[in-house]
């Protein structure tokens, strides 16, 4: 099979016409490579479509105002990109007709299903505009519908990939084609019944990994607005440093604890096939960036990962029994049912605590389900701070003046649940 490079461009890298021109300039630096270009929705479009969905359920009068605003934003980008945007505007109009048709129907009462049918338009729009623009600008490419490439089950908002079908579909549509450049959507997939699914927020990285895995690609590059993978968020820690080479295992740990730079599911498929993942700056494409690959970690630079919007749930059996395996298995069954993500957990004789994402609806349902047998205490709006390769100095710096209400230590990792932001 041909050798491919997979590129992923996130929302920030396609947020307006200038950013899309920059994407074009980056692609032009690879005239001899076969490229699969995986693209997210433009800028904050996904958040905006979440607002549309919310209005669809709770405030239908607002729907058209929001949709028109989104249509105008996308059309404005097309108008700025090409002198004669007629064909692109027509295609954008068609996609908005489809979206309006969906929104004119009664909602299904399955919020997650409707989420995927609506929010997926962000990626359909961005890729349509970019693919057509590139074709007009002299970079011939083929647009592919990721819903026919990435097969998932019907777990809406978090589709689980059916790898066999997905690999076949990708190899047939991309591997068996003579074109050089393919443009497709991140984040979205489709069921066997051709219903749209999504892979979870920020899932475009994962889409890129899926494509790379299926094609045995040479590499994946994620183009970002940062110079590479840093050991902390520079907005919080101005002295953050770039990590040049990171072994897969270490990167998996970092993303698992919430380093928002790469979607956690992205790395496993790449590691399985030993495909290196580059993280590079779209402002400075000539610079090195970071690479995640099989390597030994030479200098263990401490990394700090802060997860905001966390809720700490502490449950106490009402019957004064100790926390035992029976309770734990019961609790985990409830967590699984309401998709409570366990970011950290700890037990004592009489209580069990988990730090989870602040998803008020899911948490409320979970608490209600536990109510008969357990008393539940909440701490809302806490932060989960994880430090890999910690030392005393770093802990003191990170915790300075703050209260940790839970702490957990292992050889390489220390975690704190901290009150307030």
Q: Which residues bind Mg ion (CB under 5 A)?
A: 10-11, 40
Select 308 or 326, whichever has its Cβ closest to ligand ASP: 308
- Report what 122 binds from Mg ion, ligand ASP, none; CB cut-off 5-8 Å by kind: ligand ASP
Find the binder of ligand ASP among 43, 85, 159, 186 (CB under 6 A).
186
- Report what 46 binds from Mg ion, ligand ASP, none; CB cut-off 5-8 Å by kind: ligand ASP
The least CB distance from residue 203 to Mg ion, in Å, is: 9
In this structure, are residues 238 and 258 in contact, taking their beta carbons and an 8 Å threshold? no
Select 43 or 289, whichever has its Cβ closest to Mg ion: 43
In this structure, are residues 2 and 33 in contact, taking their beta carbons and an 8 Å threshold? no
The least CB distance from residue 154 to ligand ASP, in Å, is: 19
Q: 302 to 361, contacts with ligand ASP by CB under 6 A? A: none
Find the binder of ligand ASP among 187, 282, 335, 390 (CB under 6 A).
187
Token pair in block for residue 86: 């007629």
The least CB distance from residue 410 to Mg ion, in Å, is: 31
In this structure, are residues 229 and 279 in contact, taking their beta carbons and an 8 Å threshold? yes
- Report what 203 binds from Mg ion, ligand ASP, none; CB cut-off 5-8 Å by kind: ligand ASP
- Report what 43 binds from Mg ion, ligand ASP, none; CB cut-off 5-8 Å by kind: none
Nearest residue to 47 (alpha-carbon basis) of 107, 130, 118? 118
Rounded to whole angstroms, the Cα distance separating 360 from 340 reads 11
Token pair in block for residue 265: 């599911």
Rounded to whole angstroms, the Cα distance separating 125 from 95 reads 7
Per rule CB under 6 A, is residue 152 in the interface with ligand ASP?
no
Determine the straight-line distance between the first and last CA of the chain, rounded to whole angstroms.
50
CA separation (Å) from 391 to 387, 388, 398?
A: 9, 9, 11
The least CB distance from residue 345 to Mg ion, in Å, is: 28
Q: Give the per-residue SS3 of 124-190.
A: HHHHHHHHHHHHHCCCCCEEECHHHCCEECCCCCCCCECHHHHHHHHHHHHHCCCCCEEEEECCEEE
- What does R_g of the chain's alpha carbons equal in angstroms? 23
Rounded to whole angstroms, the Cα distance separating 372 from 352 reads 16
Select 222 or 384, whichever has its Cβ closest to Mg ion: 222
Rounded to whole angstroms, the Cα distance separating 406 from 383 reads 11
Find the binder of ligand ASP among 40, 184, 197, 356 (CB under 6 A).
40
Per rule CB under 6 A, is residue 122 in the interface with ligand ASP?
yes
Select 149 or 406, whichever has its Cβ closest to ligand ASP: 149
- Report what 187 binds from Mg ion, ligand ASP, none; CB cut-off 5-8 Å by kind: ligand ASP
Rounded to whole angstroms, the Cα distance separating 120 from 77 reads 19
The least CB distance from residue 45 to ligand ASP, in Å, is: 7
Q: What are residue 405's phi and psi, to 5 degrees?
A: -95, -10
Select 115 or 338, whichever has its Cβ closest to ligand ASP: 115
Stretch that binds ligand ASP, among 197-205, 284-292, 315-323, 351-359 (CB under 6 A): 197-205
Find the binder of ligand ASP among 41, 146, 210, 394 (CB under 6 A).
41
Q: 224 to 263, contacts with ligand ASP by CB under 6 A? A: none
Find the binder of ligand ASP among 100, 201, 397, 407 (CB under 6 A).
201
How many chain residues bind ligand ASP (CB under 6 A)? 12
Find the residue with minimal CB distance to ligand ASP: 204
Per rule CB under 6 A, is residue 46 in the interface with ligand ASP?
yes
Stretch that binds ligand ASP, among 195-203, 209-217, 303-311, 364-372 (CB under 6 A): 195-203
Per rule CB under 6 A, is residue 10 in the interface with ligand ASP?
yes
CA separation (Å) from 289 to 8, 119, 228, 235, 245?
A: 14, 31, 4, 18, 9
Find the binder of ligand ASP among 116, 202, 253, 357 (CB under 6 A).
202
Per rule CB under 6 A, is residue 116 in the interface with ligand ASP?
no
With a CB cutoff of 8 Å and minimum separation 6, the contacts of 235 are: none
- How many residues does this entry show for the chain? 421
With a CB cutoff of 8 Å and minimum separation 6, the contacts of 28 are: 139
Q: Which residues bind ligand ASP (CB under 6 A)?
A: 10-11, 40-41, 46, 122, 186-187, 201-204
């Amino acid at each position: 099979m041909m050798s491919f490079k997979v590129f992923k461009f996130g929302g920030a890298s396609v947020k307006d016409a200038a950013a899309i021109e920059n994407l074009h300039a980056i692609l032009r630096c690879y005239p001899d490579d076969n490229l699969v270009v995986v693209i997210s929705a433009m800028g904050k479009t996904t958040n905006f479509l979440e607002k549309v969905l919310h209005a669809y359920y709770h405030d239908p009068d607002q729907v058209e105002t929001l949709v028109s605003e989104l249509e105008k934003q996308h059309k404005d980008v097309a108008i700025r990109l090409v002198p004669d945007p007629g064909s692109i505007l027509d295609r954008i109009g068609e996609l908005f007709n489809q979206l309006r048709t969906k929104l004119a129907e009664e909602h299904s009462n399955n919020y997650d299903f409707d989420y995927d049918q609506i929010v997926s338009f962000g990626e359909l729009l961005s890729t349509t505009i970019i693919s057509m623009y590139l074709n007009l600008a002299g970079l011939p490419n083929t647009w592919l519908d990721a819903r026919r490439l990435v097969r998932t089950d019907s777990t809406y908002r978090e589709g689980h990939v059916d790898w066999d079908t997905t690999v076949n579909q990708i190899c047939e549509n991309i591997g068996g084609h003579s074109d050089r450049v393919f443009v497709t959507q991140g984040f979205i997939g489709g069921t066997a019944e051709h219903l749209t699914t999504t892979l979870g927020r920020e899932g475009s990285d994962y889409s890129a990994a899926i494509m790379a895995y299926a094609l045995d690609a040479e590499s994946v590059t994620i183009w970002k607005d940062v110079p590479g993978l840093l050991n902390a968020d520079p907005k919080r820690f101005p002295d953050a440093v770039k990590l040049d080479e990171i072994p897969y295992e270490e990167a998996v740990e970092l993303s698992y604890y919430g380093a928002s730079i790469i979607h956690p599911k992205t790395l496993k498929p790449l590691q399985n096939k030993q495909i290196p993942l580059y993280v590079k700056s779209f402002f400075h494409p000539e610079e090195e960036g970071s690479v995640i690959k099989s390597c030994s970690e030479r200098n263990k630079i401490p990394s700090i990962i802060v997860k905001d919007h966390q809720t700490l749930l502490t449950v106490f059996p009402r019957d004064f029994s100790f926390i035992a395996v029976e309770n734990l298995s019961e609790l985990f069954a409830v967590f699984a049912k309401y998709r409570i993500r366990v970011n950290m957990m700890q037990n004592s004789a009489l209580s069990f605590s988990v730090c989870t994402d602040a998803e008020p609806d899911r948490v409320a349902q979970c608490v209600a389900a536990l109510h008969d047998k357990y008393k539940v205490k909440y701490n809302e709006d806490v932060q989960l701070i994880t430090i890999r390769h910690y030392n005393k100095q770093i802990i003191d710096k990170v915790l300075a003046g703050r209260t940790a209400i839970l702490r957990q230590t292992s050889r390489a990792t220390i975690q704190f649940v901290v009150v307030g932001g």
